[in-house]
Amino acid sequence: MNAHEITPGVFAIHADIKSAARFEGIWPIPHGVTLNSYIVKGEKTALIDLAKDWSGSIEQYERQLETAGTSFEAIDYLILNHLEPDHTAFIVELRKRNPKAEILSTPKGIALVKNFFKIPEGLREVKTGDSLDLGAGRVLEFFETPNIHWPETMMTYDRAGGTLFSCDAFGSYGTLGDRVFDDEFTAEEHAFYEHESLRYYSNIVSSFSAFVTKALDKLKALEVKTVAPSHGIIWRKNPKTICDRYAKYAGYNTGTAPCEKEICIIWGSMYGYTKAGLEAVIAGIEAEKVPYTIHQVPDTDASFVLADAYKAAGLVIAMPTYEYKMFPPMAHILDLFERKHFTGKKALRIGSWGWVGGAKKEYEERIAAFKWTSVESVEWQGVASEADLALLKERGRELAKLVKE
Ligand SMILES: Cc1cc2nc3c(=O)[nH]c(=O)nc-3n(C[C@H](O)[C@H](O)[C@H](O)COP(=O)(O)O)c2cc1C
C-alpha cells in the first residue's frame, strides 16, 4: 500500500488491522480498525504518531514511508499526540534506528515516553500555543486536548494546509482498504462508518464528552480544511460532517444535543417469562410509532448495546431477578452505563421474579446517580397475568410518549 498524499508534502501512512478480535481487549472489531499516522515535510520532516505492532508491521510501515519519500532514518521529529500503545508501538525501534529524531509531546506525554518506554533524552515538551517550524513555510501548531482520550492528549495543526491531526478524536472502527478520504466512499459506505464511529464513540470516548465539547470550542478558531484522525476516514471534502457528528455525540450525555427520539430495548431472560412481558411493552411502543432497537444480553456484545443505547432517548431494561439481584449480564451493561456516563435517559424497567425478587432494589440503587427519568417499573411473579400484560403495554406507551416529547 502507498502513502496517501493529503496536501503537497503531507501524507497519511495508513494500516488496516484485521488480526485483532477486540479493540482495547474489550470491544469486538469484526470489521477491523485502521491506524493512521502522518508525515509532514518542510525542510525538516515530522512523523505524527506511530502505530501498533502487527504481523509484518514494520516492513509494511517502512514501505509506505518510502512511497512518501522518507524513512525512519530521515525523520527529524516524532510528534506524539497520544501515548496509547496503538499509536506508539514502534517508538523503541525508531529511536534505535534514528537516535537523533527528537520526540515532542505534552508534558504528560513526555513523562509517559520516559516511563513507558524508558527513553530518557531527545525529548521536548510542548503546550498549547507552541509550534514547530519545519522550514519551507511549514509550521505545526499544538493544542492540548486533555482526556481525548488520555490526560496527555493533544492535537497538531498544519496551518499552511489546514490539516488537523486529531488523533483519537473524530475516529471510528472499521478498516478502509485502499481508500482513506471521505470523498472516496459511497453514501452506503458512509452509513456503515457512521455506525462504526458511533460505536467507537460510545465505547471509547463517551466518558470524556465534556472534554470533547471543550476541545471543539478550542478548535473553532482554526480553519480546518482536513480532519486527519488516527482511526478511520480522513475528511478532506466535508470535515464539518465529522466535527458536527462528534459535537452531537458529545451532546448526548452532556445535554448539549438531544438524544434521538427512539428507544433501545435491552433484555435478558432465563426461561422466557420476562421476554413474554416485554412483548406487551413492545406492543405499546409500536402503538405510539416510536422506532426502537432491541438487544438480548448476553448474546449481543455490550459494544453494540452501548452504541444503540447511547444515542437513544429512551431505554427499556427487561430482566428477571437472579440470586436476589439483577440478572448478571444486565448488571454488566448498567456498570458500563455508569462508567461511560449514560445520563439523561427516559427509562422503563420490567422483569419477572420467583419468590421474593431483588432485581428492582438493586436496579434502583444502581441508577440513582444516572439522572434518568423513570416510568414506574413493572414486576410480576412467574408468568405475567392478563392484567400484568395490559399494564406492561400501557407502560410501554407511556415511555414512548415521553420519548416523543
Ligand atoms: C439461578 C436462578 C436464581 C434465581 N434467583 C431468584 C431470586 O433471588 N429471587 C427470586 O425471586 N427469584 C429468583 N429466581 C427465579 C426467577 O427470577 C424467576 O423464575 C423468573 O420468573 C424468571 O424469569 P425469566 O424466565 O425471564 O428468566 C431465580 C432463578 C434462577 C434460575
| Closest residue CA from atom 1 of ligand 1 | 322
pLDDT of residue 396: 98
| Closest residue CA from atom 27 of ligand 1 | 270
Could you check whether the bond before residue 298 is cis, i.e. omega within 30 degrees of 0?
A: yes
Instruction: State if residue 165 touches ligand 1 by the CB under 6 angstroms criterion.
Output: no
Q: Where are the beta strands (DSSP E) in 43-201?
A: 45-48, 77-79, 102-105, 123-125, 131-135, 138-144, 154-158, 163-167
pLDDT of residue 372: 97
Could you check whether the bond before residue 332 is cis, i.e. omega within 30 degrees of 0?
A: no
Instruction: State if residue 116 touches ligand 1 by the CB under 6 angstroms criterion.
Output: no
pLDDT band at 41 (very low <50, low <70, confident <90, very high): very high
Instruction: State if residue 323 touches ligand 1 by the CB under 6 angstroms criterion.
Output: yes
Residue with cell 494546509: 161
Rounded CA-CA distance 250/256 in Å is 8
pLDDT, one tens digit per residue, over 283-320 is 999 999 999 999 999 999 999 999 999 999 999 999 99
pLDDT band at 218 (very low <50, low <70, confident <90, very high): confident
Q: Is the pLDDT of residue 280 over 70?
A: yes
Question: Could you tell me where the DSSP H helices lie in 294-372?
Answer: 302-311, 328-339, 359-367
pLDDT, one tens digit per residue, over 104-116 is 999 999 999 999 9
Rounded CA-CA distance 168/149 in Å is 7
As a CATH number, domain 261-404 is 3.40.50.360
* Å from CA of 93 to ligand 1 middle: 55
Mapping DSSP to helix (H, G, I), strand (E, B) and coil, where does residue 121 land?
coil
Instruction: State if residue 64 touches ligand 1 by the CB under 6 angstroms criterion.
Output: no
pLDDT, one tens digit per residue, over 85-105 is 889 988 999 999 999 999 999
Rounded CA-CA distance 336/393 in Å is 28
* Å from CA of 322 to ligand 1 middle: 5
pLDDT of residue 54: 66
Pick the CATH number of 4-254 from 3.60.15.10, 3.60.40.10, 1.10.10.10, 3.40.50.300: 3.60.15.10
pLDDT band at 61 (very low <50, low <70, confident <90, very high): confident
pLDDT of residue 18: 86
Domain ranges for the chain: 4-254, 261-404
In the sheet with 346-353, reading across from the earlier edge strand, the strands are: 292-296, 260-267, 312-318, 346-353, 373-381
* Å from CA of 330 to ligand 1 middle: 14
* Å from CA of 353 to ligand 1 middle: 5
Q: Is the pLDDT of residue 56 over 90?
A: no
Rounded CA-CA distance 313/402 in Å is 9
pLDDT of residue 100: 97
User: Which atom of ligand 1 is nearest the CA belonging to 275?
Assistant: 26
C-alpha cell at 196: 462504526
ipTM of this complex > 0.90?
Answer: yes
Rounded CA-CA distance 228/375 in Å is 43
Instruction: State if residue 354 touches ligand 1 by the CB under 6 angstroms criterion.
Output: yes
pLDDT of residue 89: 84
How big is the chain, counted in residues? Answer: 405
171 touches 230 (CB < 8 A): yes
pLDDT of residue 90: 86
% helix, strand, coil for the chain, step of 5: 40, 25, 35
